[in-house]
């Protein structure tokens, strides 16, 4: 369960990204978040893995107050959250395999188990046999699929994707959307921020929107 309780985030300089947001997301939900650029979508997502902290209010994740979590506990929180950002943020000096392996190493998975999971993840995103390639040799859609594989290879209970299809053509974008739906069908809580809300229309997700930092349920 993710709970935002009267969360306000004001950045230095006075810009208010979120203004008194109240939100509850149940385990296993598929939530599509929309809103114009600067509406506060990224900030809302960054509050969950404690990339940013709220100015006021609390963010609870599975009864844990994320907004007051000590710094040393944050890495362990993030290992249970899969993050996919607008830019794939892959490491271009490492192979596809090593990119997907990274969270497993961080999480201390034994090498044999890690190798098995990377293979399964590659298979899931349709990139089997491409593990030795480097990200620069992949298309934008393939790079995003590698980023998705990296996000879920640790089997997180929550998957957060911030504009994952922003730079992709419609065919790749719907493939990515289907991937997220398949994770959600497996019980993962999926939160996707997107301008193109039609991508998920077939699956009747919960739709919420942000407008100038204020949340509106749709």
Partner 1 sequence: MRNWLYLHTRAVSRALARLARQPFGTLLSALVMGIALTLPAGGMILLDHASTLARGVSGKPEISLFLNDDASPAQTDAIRQNLQAEAQIEGIRFVPRDVALKQLENNGLGDVLGGIAANPLPDAFVVTLKGDDPALFDTLSTKMRNWAGIAHVQIDSAWVKRLAALLELVRVTIWVLSVLLGLALAIVTFNTIRLQILTQENEIEVSRLLGATDRFIRRPFYWFGTLQGVLGGLIAVGAVWAGFHVLSAPIAKVGETWGMPVAPVSLNGIEGLAIVAAAAALGWLGTAISVRRYLTM
Contact residues toward partner 1 (CB under 8 A) are: 49, 51, 71-72, 74-79, 83, 85, 89-91, 102-103, 105-108, 110-111, 150, 154
Strand residue runs (E) in 36-84: 56-61, 64-65, 81-84
Give me the least distance between CB of 170 and partner 1, in Å please: 28
Kindly tell me which of 159 and 208 has the beta carbon lying closer to partner 1.
Answer: 159
Kindly tell me which of 152 and 200 has the beta carbon lying closer to partner 1.
Answer: 152
Give me the least distance between CB of 190 and partner 1, in Å please: 18
Distance between CA 153 and CA 101 in Å, rounded? 8
Give me the least distance between CB of 152 and partner 1, in Å please: 12
Give me the least distance between CB of 99 and partner 1, in Å please: 9
Using CA atoms, how far residue 3 sits from 32, 44, 166, in Å, is 16, 11, 27
Using CA atoms, how far residue 191 sits from 2, 5, 178, in Å, is 11, 18, 14
For residues 39 and 16, the answer to whether their CB atoms sit within 8 Å is no
CA dihedral 128, 141, 91, 186 (to 10 degrees): -60
Kindly tell me which of 41 and 181 has the beta carbon lying closer to partner 1.
Answer: 41
Kindly tell me which of 153 and 215 has the beta carbon lying closer to partner 1.
Answer: 153
């Amino acid at each position: 369960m993710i709970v935002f309780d009267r969360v306000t985030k004001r950045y230095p300089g006075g810009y208010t990204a979120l203004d008194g947001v109240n939100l509850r997301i149940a385990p296993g939900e598929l939530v599509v978040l929309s809103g114009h650029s600067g509406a506060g979508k990224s900030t809302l997502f960054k509050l969950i893995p404690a990339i940013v902290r709220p100015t006021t209010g609390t963010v609870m994740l599975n009864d844990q107050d994320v907004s007051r979590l000590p710094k040393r506990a944050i890495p362990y929180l993030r290992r249970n959250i899969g993050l996919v950002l607008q830019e794939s943020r892959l490491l271009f000096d490492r192979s596809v395999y090593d990119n997907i392996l990274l969270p497993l190493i961080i999480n201390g998975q034994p090498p044999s188990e890690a190798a098995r999971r990377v293979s399964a993840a590659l298979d899931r995103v349709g990139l089997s046999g491409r593990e030795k390639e480097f990200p620069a040799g992949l298309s934008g859609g393939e790079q995003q699929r590698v980023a998705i594989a990296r996000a879920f290879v640790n089997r997180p209970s929550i998957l957060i994707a911030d504009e994952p299809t922003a730079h992709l053509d419609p065919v790749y974008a719907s493939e990515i959307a289907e991937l997220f739906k398949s994770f959600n069908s497996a019980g993962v809580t999926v939160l996707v921020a997107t301008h193109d809300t039609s991508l998920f229309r077939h699956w009747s997700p919960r739709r919420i929107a942000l407008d100038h930092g204020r949340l509106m349920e749709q």
